[in-house]
Amino acid sequence: MPRRSVLPPSLSAQLSALITQRFRALSDSELQDILAEFSELPAKLIVDASREMTDVVSPYEPSLLEQLRKSEQKLMKRSHDYAWFFLFHRSGYVREAALDTINAPPASAFFLSALAWRLNDWVGAVRQAAVRCAERVFPRISPEVAASAAPYLLDRRFVWARWSEEANVLDSVFGRTDVMAALAIRMRKQQTGPFASCLRHALRYPEIDKHLPRLAIDAIQPSVRVAAYQCLLSGRATWPVGYEWAWIDKVYGLRKRVRMLDSRDIQRASPAADWIRRGIHDRSVLVRRVAADAMVDARGQLPDADSLIAILASDRSSAIRSRADYMLRHTHSDQS
């Protein structure tokens, strides 16, 4: 059964016509129109779209391979924009040449993901060419483009398996102050999407710290507010750095993958007590539960702990009320 296309029908039709034309009938305007349609694709489609593009850009013709390499390099000399197509070529030599040709930053999240995908290429020389390309163009990427690609790319570091040190070049993009500011706006305003996970990965960059208070207060998604509150309540940022194996039973050879974490201290403008007071009034039970958990440990530092516990005790969530009950019982036992 043929794989279902991830490309829009109009784009698929144009690409199907190119299989026989081999790009030679493309005018500059046609080339720009097709690239513009690709730019509209979301970053998360890069892997599936690249499979389709490979069949279009370089149908499997072993007897013509050397001839095609020469013709496609001529096309890239005619217009560097052809290099964006040839990132998906079947030949590693052409992919490497395309990366060495590109000198303009990607204008969309999809093409930024295409460069990142080449950092994970199965050919080592292509990965090195992708690093050289990234070093040239990444400093000039628009913060909006980088922020648009971030929810997908930030966790690819642990999903794509071929790259190693090559993945670090992405830090030069996502560690930028303007990129973190643009990403924080997206995390705050988007109603759907994996932005809580995105925030947890972004915590590796200290440039996100200044945006945590606003995210805790104003983010639409409760899960994003939870992630921000956890940092502000604990004074630490924690992010995933990969996976390791943990034994369940060595005798039977049973083990499971567990996520490894790293962390760092963050600077807070307000103490944890202020965030506890704010958090227990949040509209989401997820946030109120995080604030209540923090209060269990910090209630001795809160002069108004009794009134705060009373608020928790009247919460509509039984999980919150149980924490208030725990604090009341332990407060009474401590006094007795």
What's the token pair of residue 224? 């994003």
Share of the chain above pLDDT 90, in %: 59
**pLDDT attached to residue 227:** 98
Name the residue among 140, 137, 142, 145 with its Cα closest to residue 119: 137
| 8 Å CB contact between 109 and 149 | yes
Report, as an integer, the average pLDDT of 317-330: 92
Q: Tell me: the pLDDT tens digits for 199-245?
A: 999 999 999 999 999 999 999 999 999 999 999 999 999 999 888 88
pLDDT range class, residue 309, cuts 50, 70, 90: very high
How far apart CA 168 and CA 120 sit, in angstroms, is 12
3-state helix, strand, coil split of the chain in percent (to 5) is: 65, 10, 25
Helix 109-119 vs helix 46-57: crossing angle, to nearest 10: 80
How far apart CA 289 and CA 280 sit, in angstroms, is 8
Report, as an integer, the average pLDDT of 7-29: 68
Q: Tell me: the pLDDT tens digits for 40-96?
A: 999 999 998 888 877 666 554 544 344 445 566 677 777 778 888 889 888 888 899
| 8 Å CB contact between 295 and 327 | yes
The residue length of the chain stands at: 336
Q: Tell me: the pLDDT tens digits for 22-40?
A: 555 567 777 788 888 888 9
Q: Tell me: the pLDDT tens digits for 241-285?
A: 888 889 998 888 899 988 899 999 999 989 999 999 999 999 999
Handedness of CA 165, 171, 172, 173 (dihedral sign): positive
Q: Tell me: the pLDDT tens digits for 158-213?
A: 888 888 889 999 999 999 999 999 999 999 999 999 999 999 999 999 999 999 99
What's the token pair of residue 127? 């990965």
Q: Which of 4-18, 67-81, 100-114 has the lowest mean pLDDT?
A: 67-81
How far apart CA 56 and CA 18 sit, in angstroms, is 7
What's the token pair of residue 4? 């279902």
Q: How far is CA 295 from CA 289, 316, 327, in A?
A: 10, 18, 9
